Amino acid sequence: MELIWIVPVSGFVAVLYALWLAWDVLRRDAGTPEMQNVSAMIFEGAMAFLRRQYVTIAILALVTAAIITLIVGGVSEGVKEIISEETGDIVEIKYGEKVVSHWEEGLLTGIAFLVGAAASALAGYIGMYISVRSNSRAASAATRSLSEAITVSLRGGAVSGFLVVALSLLGVSGIFLVYSEVLGNPNSIAPFLIVGFGFGASFVALFAQLGGGIYTKAADVGADLVGKVEAGIPEDDPRNAAVIADLVGDNVGDCAGRGADLFESMSAENIGAMILGVVIYSVTGNLEWIVFPLVLRSFGILATMAGLTSVPFFARRQSSGDPMSPLNYGYYIVSILSVIGLFIATRVMLGDAWHWFFFCGLVGIGTGIAFVYITQYYTSGAWRPVREIADASRTGPATNIITGTAVGLETTAATAITIGFALVASFVLGSNADIPNVPGFSSGVFGTAVATMGMLMSAAYILSMDTFGPITDNAGGITEMAGAPESARHITDSLDTVGNTTKALTKGYAVASAGLAAFLLFSAYLDKVKERLDIPLTESLPIDLSSVDVFVGGLLGVMLVFLFSSLAIRAVGTTAGKIIEEVRRQFREDPGIMAGTSRPDYGRAVDITARAALRQMVAPGLLAVGLPVTVGLIFRFARDGDVTVAGVTYPDSSGWLAVAGVLMIGTIGGIILATFFNNVGGAWDNAKKYIEAGMLQVPSENPGAMTTLGKGTDAHKAAVVGDTVGDPYKDTAGPSLHVLVKLLSTVTLVLAPLFIA
């Protein structure tokens, strides 16, 4: 356990670093009074939304925690110790005495749920607090230089990034420490007891992402439709009552929503990886196998700190060029340092077979980099897909949508092949490790866990780049509304374009991590089922796809991701309708608004959107939690399929089999559908930008000359339709699907006893 000290150290260092970043951003010039005024309105709206959202989530979470405690406590039979028994040369994993009673298990799970939920909420709240305090500072910096604007935006975003990662690391390691050392439970069962933490995190993430995603896109679509289309006023025009709601939306969707998303990714995948380490720990007796994921993440935090600190250096060196380059250089530094950290961690902790897992980690880091490039290819204007969509806009909105859909569907290929390759490669590498008495299957699955954790080493950096997006977007809106000089607007515009790319990258990264993690989380679910059924963890438990339970479960799982997306997309439409009505009402009742003599009531528009969005997030959220539970219960009681493991037949297994089908095949469907939504939305957005930048050219009437089809042309109008359609796809349905996929894992993991007869 030589490296375990690095976990608390890096955790606290990360918190301190985040505090320093916050101090550094907040001490800077907050801009002109006009800028501060706009920023204050955004701050007020964002915080009001968050408060109201957290109250709703808190109520739902408390009820859910109570239900979990009752279900797990009432249904489970308590937890038995996992012991290894040597018979001659062979070590067998068996179950010993019951060490945790069923009510204790229920209570511990319920508490872990609340701790996870609270940590996630805290990270989201503080991160967003700083983010909305940074926007006017970024706007002010943009009046001075590009490099300062990059620094402010990135540091403001990094507060959120580091807090999310640090709180997840400290939370998981802290609750593990308490549940094992303090409460005296065996190390081998503590990972099973803390799964509630992951469920709590994904529960908050689902509602944060859904609520934020619905809010942001409803405000965006609503503001555009009622402002640009109906009233004919430009984007971010102060006469539009929805404009502040729109700027608030960027924060609550991209900053708070995505932060919660990645908080839960890291937490759930970390816990899943620890559960998979239990088998190897039970055989070898080395606790390293359980705590390894924590150590790897700690190295990732240190690597990210170094990389992030280097960005201003790169930004100063080329202050005139593309703002994306310094961010890319920083990412390379994070990647290189992560490889070094991975080397140290595997070499020191994982015994003779370390090099196999080192390669697994490399696969994970490589997958992260691959996704950065894949996403750029499909959503950036420089390449074929976006140009194809821009070109199709010449024949109107219908061909823009058709071509965009074809591009979006196509992008799933690169995603699936990359994830598939990474899974197979890390599984094969891991299963080659040949640890004595550990089945190749167990070390193979652990290999996929190492790949996932390797990929997530750079999570804080990716998340900082993501929160960079709403800050620059807000800064642009503030310069516009506060009447800042043209040059500042030019700088914020170039940052905004980069922000769009980094937001797309984060989504690709989140999908990839969900895909890689699917396998490990699914295996954790199976380990939990084995534990319940007293099947040795080293036995493989087949989930037979040719059984009607698994197949129909899978059919319903894929249906779930489609139906969930339907509800999320429709929620945007419904909420947008409310804000449109409100802006229309204000225009109608106070003609002074349009004339520019009176100020619209921004607060009311913010409020109405918030209330509608929060109401709309409940149905899809409950569907996500409710469907797997319902399927599990129906199959448990209506069917009696059985499963044979090592000659023993386990009857009445339909419940957990169907849930396995929902989980696993629903995950596949969710990953693919989320990829489609994210990429098609990004491509439409950038096709519009491509046309606005005057890059769509067609042969003109004069032979040899070219005509530019830019802003205001019919092609541009068609591209705006595509962009609007893509909004709820890429910012509501897609990101919510990542969370849904991981929520499926945690909800089934925690409620597994419910599905076992």
**Within positions 439 to 478, which residues make up the interface with its own copies, using CB under 8 A?**
444, 448
Q: Interface with its own copies includes 559 (CB under 8 A)?
A: yes
Q: Which is nearer to its own copies, 169 or 219 (CB)?
A: 219
Q: Which is nearer to its own copies, 279 or 392 (CB)?
A: 392
User: Hey, is 686 helix, strand or coil?
Assistant: helix
Handedness of CA 468, 474, 477, 479 (dihedral sign): negative
Of the candidate residues 101, 540, 708, 713, the single one contacting its own copies (CB under 8 A): 540
CB atoms within 10 A of CB 424: 13
Of the candidate residues 4, 177, 555, 693, the single one contacting its own copies (CB under 8 A): 555
Nearest approach in angstroms of CB 647 to its own copies is: 8
Residues 380-419 that bind its own copies (CB under 8 A): 392, 395-399, 401-403, 405-410, 412-413, 415-417, 419
Q: Interface with its own copies includes 279 (CB under 8 A)?
A: no
Give the span between the Cα atoms of 736 and 730, in whole angstroms: 9
Q: Mind giving me the DSSP string for 182-194?
A: ITT--TTTHHHHT
Q: Which is nearer to its own copies, 545 or 706 (CB)?
A: 545
Nearest approach in angstroms of CB 442 to its own copies is: 12
Q: Interface with its own copies includes 378 (CB under 8 A)?
A: no
Residues 95-124 that bind its own copies (CB under 8 A): none
Residues 189-228 that bind its own copies (CB under 8 A): 221, 225
Q: Interface with its own copies includes 725 (CB under 8 A)?
A: yes
Q: Interface with its own copies includes 558 (CB under 8 A)?
A: yes
Query: Which part of the chain contacts its own copies (CB under 8 A), choosing from 43-51, 321-329, 422-430, 692-700?
Result: 422-430
Q: Which is nearer to its own copies, 172 or 558 (CB)?
A: 558
Amino acid letter for position 566: S
Query: Which part of the chain contacts its own copies (CB under 8 A), choosing from 126-134, 502-510, 516-524, 699-707?
Result: 516-524
State the virtual CA torsion across 528, 534, 540, 541 in degrees, nearest 10: -70
Name residue, tokens 């409950």. Answer: 622
Nearest approach in angstroms of CB 226 to its own copies is: 9
Q: Mind giving me the DSSP string for 699-740?
A: E-SSTT-EEE--TTSHHHHHHHHHHHHHHHIIIIIHHHHHHH
Q: Interface with its own copies includes 521 (CB under 8 A)?
A: no
Of the candidate residues 93, 132, 423, 462, the single one contacting its own copies (CB under 8 A): 423
Of the candidate residues 92, 544, 607, 692, the single one contacting its own copies (CB under 8 A): 544
Give the span between the Cα atoms of 314 and 704, in whole angstroms: 42
Q: Interface with its own copies includes 724 (CB under 8 A)?
A: yes
Closest C-alpha to 431, from 421, 446, 419: 446
Beta bridge partners of 79: 100
Q: Interface with its own copies includes 676 (CB under 8 A)?
A: yes
Of the candidate residues 48, 336, 533, 548, the single one contacting its own copies (CB under 8 A): 548
Of the candidate residues 282, 565, 586, 736, the single one contacting its own copies (CB under 8 A): 565
Beta bridge partners of 698: 707
Name residue, tokens 């997309």. Answer: 569
Q: Interface with its own copies includes 716 (CB under 8 A)?
A: no
Q: Which is nearer to its own copies, 126 or 552 (CB)?
A: 552
User: Under rule CB under 8 A, how many of the chain's residues touch its own copies?
Assistant: 83
Handedness of CA 494, 496, 498, 500 (dihedral sign): negative
Is the separation of the CB atoms in 730 and 685 below 8 Å?
yes
Task: Say which residues have a Cβ less than 8 Å from residue 648's Cβ, sequence separation at least 6.
Answer: 535
Residue 180 has phi, psi (to 5 degrees) of -95, -65
Q: Interface with its own copies includes 377 (CB under 8 A)?
A: no
Q: Interface with its own copies includes 428 (CB under 8 A)?
A: yes
Q: Interface with its own copies includes 429 (CB under 8 A)?
A: no
How far from 365 is each of 344, 412, 426, 453, 564, CA to CA, in Å? 15, 20, 11, 9, 31
Name residue, tokens 């939305």. Answer: 681
Give the span between the Cα atoms of 517 and 416, in whole angstroms: 14
Q: Which is nearer to its own copies, 123 or 223 (CB)?
A: 223
Is the separation of the CB atoms in 289 and 281 below 8 Å?
yes
Amino acid letter for position 102: H
Q: Which is nearer to its own copies, 8 or 577 (CB)?
A: 577
Give the span between the Cα atoms of 693 and 610, in whole angstroms: 34
User: Hey, is 3 helix, strand or coil?
Assistant: coil
Of the candidate residues 158, 290, 475, 552, the single one contacting its own copies (CB under 8 A): 552
Residues 612-671 that bind its own copies (CB under 8 A): 638-639, 647, 660-661, 664-665, 668-669, 671
Residue 485 has phi, psi (to 5 degrees) of -60, 155
Nearest approach in angstroms of CB 502 to its own copies is: 25
Residues 287-346 that bind its own copies (CB under 8 A): none
User: Hey, is 19 helix, strand or coil?
Assistant: helix
Q: Interface with its own copies includes 72 (CB under 8 A)?
A: no
Nearest approach in angstroms of CB 617 to its own copies is: 15
Give the span between the Cα atoms of 215 and 540, in whole angstroms: 45
Burial label for 120, CB within 10 Å (0-12, 13-18, 19+), is buried
569-608 mask for its own copies (x: CB under 8 A)?
A: xx-xx--x---x----------------------------
Q: Which is nearer to its own copies, 444 or 454 (CB)?
A: 444
Task: Say which residues have a Cβ less than 8 Å from residue 454's Cβ, sequence separation at least 6.
Answer: 296, 338, 342, 360, 361, 362, 363, 364, 365
CB atoms within 10 A of CB 79: 24
Q: Which is nearer to its own copies, 461 or 729 (CB)?
A: 729
Of the candidate residues 526, 537, 617, 687, the single one contacting its own copies (CB under 8 A): 526
Q: What is the CA radius of gyration of the chain?
A: 26
224-253 mask for its own copies (x: CB under 8 A)?
A: -x---x------------------------
Q: Interface with its own copies includes 348 (CB under 8 A)?
A: no
Nearest approach in angstroms of CB 175 to its own copies is: 27
Q: Interface with its own copies includes 721 (CB under 8 A)?
A: yes
Residues 157-176 that bind its own copies (CB under 8 A): none
